[in-house]
Structure 1
Amino acid sequence: MHNNNTRLTTPKQMIGPNADPDPDGNGEQVKLTLSMYGYQREWIEERAEERDMNLSEYMRTMATAGERQLVAIESLADEDGRGEIEADIVERLPNDEANALDPDELLEGILTPIRDTVYTILKTNSQIEYSPQHEGYYLE
Structure 2
Amino acid sequence: MIGPNADPEPADGTGEQVKLTLSMYRYQREWIEDRADERDMNLSEYMRTVVTAGERQLVAIESLADEDGRGEIEADIVERLPEDESEAIDPDELLEETLTPIRDTVYTILKTNSRIEYSPQHEGYYLE
TM-score (norm: length of structure 1): 0.48
Distance 1:94 1:112, change over 3 A: same
Q: Is the aligned partner of 1:125 residue 2:113?
A: yes
Indicate which of 47, 60, 75 corresponds to 2:64: 75
Secondary structure of 1:130's counterpart equals strand
Distance 1:94 1:126, change over 3 A: same
More contact order relative to length (CA 8 Å, sep ≥ 6): 1
Distance 1:123 1:115, change over 3 A: same
Distance in 2, matches of 1:73 and 1:100, equals 31
Q: Residue 93 of structure 1 aligns to which amino acid in structure 2?
A: L
Indicate which of 84, 87, 99 corresponds to 1:96: 84
Distance 1:137 1:37, change over 3 A: farther
Deviation at 1:81, TM superposition (A): 1.6
Deviation at 1:71, TM superposition (A): 5.5
* Count of aligned pairs: 79
Identity within the alignment, %? 72
Unaligned runs of 5+ in 2: 1-10, 15-38, 41-55
Q: Residue 75 of structure 1 aligns to which amino acid in structure 2?
A: L
Q: Is the aligned partner of 1:116 residue 2:104?
A: yes
Distance in 2, matches of 1:125 and 1:101, equals 35
Distance in 1, matches of 2:70 and 2:100, equals 20
Secondary structure of 1:129's counterpart equals strand
CA deviation digits over 1:22-46, x for unaligned, max 9? xxxxxxxxxxxxxx8789xxxxxxx
Higher helix fraction: Structure 1 or Structure 2? 2
Higher Cα radius of gyration:
2
TM-score (norm: length of structure 2): 0.52
Give the alignment's Cα RMSD to 1 decimal: 2.6
